[in-house]
Structure 1
Amino acid sequence: MKNQNHNKLKRDFQELYRKIILACAVIGIGAIILVYLIIDPSFSTFKTDAPQTELVTIPEEDDYDKIENGIHVRTGFIDAPGMMVTVQNCTNCHSAKLVMQNRMNEERWKSTIKWMQETQNLWDLGENEAVIINYLVTNYPPKKLGRRAVLTDIEWYQFEE
């Protein structure tokens, strides 16, 4: 009997201990909220006056295909015949900068397009292929690499031996 009373008393103390801990936690959290309300009643710490920015800025419809100083603003392509066909077909998969930096001749563009169709699931461009290649070759032709340009207007002198 003494053992049963001891176990019951032990359980009662454990239950009381849990209730006291819970009450202290609730009172502590309440006190923190109360102090915060006294210090900052409008919860202004959690408010921001800064405008919310979007991750992706979609140009307004009027600006979507805007041309400034002969350059398509959205892509950077030179405004010339075939530009929009090139934008519509090439920038679905690539950035315009990637297209512009690959300065190739007509033959190289044809083989690159064929490679993209065979290995990268590029659709059949049909009549647009010639328009795109003409646009790229005309506006972004290959650059000759090699020696620097010949120096002009230089006064040369002889080394003394």
Structure 2
Amino acid sequence: MSKQDKFRQQVKSFYNVIVVSFVLVLIIGVLGITYMMDPSAFSFKGDTPNSEVISTTREDDDWDKIENGIHLRTGFKDGEGLMTVVNNCTNCHSAQLVIQNRMSEERWIETIRWMQKTQNLWDLGPNEKIIVNYLVTNYPPKSKGRREALTNIEWFPLEE
């Protein structure tokens, strides 16, 4: 076998490895995207008669349970309009984004308008008043200019 034939065979083997690798990456990518879109497509619950079926209903998960005045799933404070806020605000972002922003009524309304203009937030209709009232009542602006003083700290002496 000539050097040229050996070289061609090596190039062909390398090409085959590259093609197989590309196909594997493509298949894994498609499976990953499919899983992200519908994780239940990869679920094997109920395939056999004796397999345990795990319920994912909201009632079983205490979906909207409130403990110590806090909605467990979102961390929102319990109050009038809570579920309207949960149903409208947490469709697009986490509740933590709402909780960390403390604003006046005017600023909450400005923020809603901004989301409607730039983030495709739908018209809230009569729910807007309920949402703004809930947010102003439970997440008003803080008047503190600095962070609170640290308390309950265990200090360790530094040796020189």
TM-score, structure 1 as length reference: 0.54
Paired with 2:72 and 2:84, the residues of 1 have a C-alpha distance of 16
Structure 2: runs of 5 or more not aligned: 1-55, 149-160
Structure 1 partner of 2:141: 142
Identity across the alignment (%): 72
CA offset digits 1:78-117 (Å, max 9, x no partner): 1100000000000001100110111010000111101110
Report the CA distance shift for 1:142/1:64 in structure 2 as closer, same or farther (over 3 A). Answer: same
The one-letter code sitting in structure 2 at the alignment partner of 1:77 is F
Equivalences for 1:3-152 in 2 at 5 Å?
60-62=58-60, 63-146=62-145
Number of matched pairs = 93
Report the CA distance shift for 1:130/1:59 in structure 2 as closer, same or farther (over 3 A).
same
Larger Rg: 1
One-letter amino acid matched to 1:126: G
Q: Secondary structure at the match of 1:136?
A: helix
1:59 CA displacement: 6.9
CA distance in 1, matches of 2:65, 2:105: 28
Q: How many angstroms does 1:69 deviate by?
A: 1.0
Residues 119, 143 of structure 1: CA spacing in aligned structure 2 closer, same or farther, 3 A cutoff?
same
Cα 1:145–1:64 change in 2 (3 A) is: same
Report the equivalent of 2:34: none
CA distance in 2, matches of 1:59, 1:103: 33
CA distance in 1, matches of 2:109, 2:116: 11
Superposition CA RMSD, Å: 2.0
**SS at 2:74 equivalent:** coil
In the alignment, the residues of structure 1 paired with residue 65 and residue 135 of structure 2 have an alpha-carbon distance, to the nearest angstrom, of 20
Divergent runs of 4+, >3 A: none
